[in-house]
Amino acid sequence: MKLLDLTDKTIAQLVRETGISRSTLVDIIKGNTEFKSTSVENGMKISEALNLTIEELYNKIYNLKEEK
């Protein structure tokens, strides 16, 4: 699943909300940088902007079943 499929926010909105540079965010969104390879700090910023825990976000991106 792609990162932008999880939200109705634009890249510009995510840049403003996360403080992550546009180029870094675009690399993550396009898959040039795998989400699991990004820094924990950036992962946390993205998950917070999407109102998800980092674990929920990771599971959604990699189509993993969430444990309850």
CATH assignment of the domain containing 56: 1.10.260
Q: In which region does residue 15 sit, left (phi positive, over 0), alpha (psi from -120 to 50) or beta (all else)?
A: alpha
Phi, psi of 65 (to 5 degrees): -75, 140
pLDDT at 1 over 70: no
User: Does residue 10 lie in a domain region?
Assistant: yes
**28 is in which domain, residue-wise?**
3-61
Position 68 scores a pLDDT of 57
Whether residue 66 is contained in a domain is answered as no
Does any domain span residue 67?
A: no
> Could you tell me if residue 30 is inside a domain?
yes
pLDDT in tens, 8-64: 999 999 999 999 999 999 998 888 888 889 999 999 999 999 999 999 999 998 888
Structurally, the chain folds into a number of domains equal to 1
Q: How confident is the model at residue 3 (pLDDT cuts 50, 70, 90)?
A: confident
Give the Cβ contact number of residue 9 at 10 Å: 14
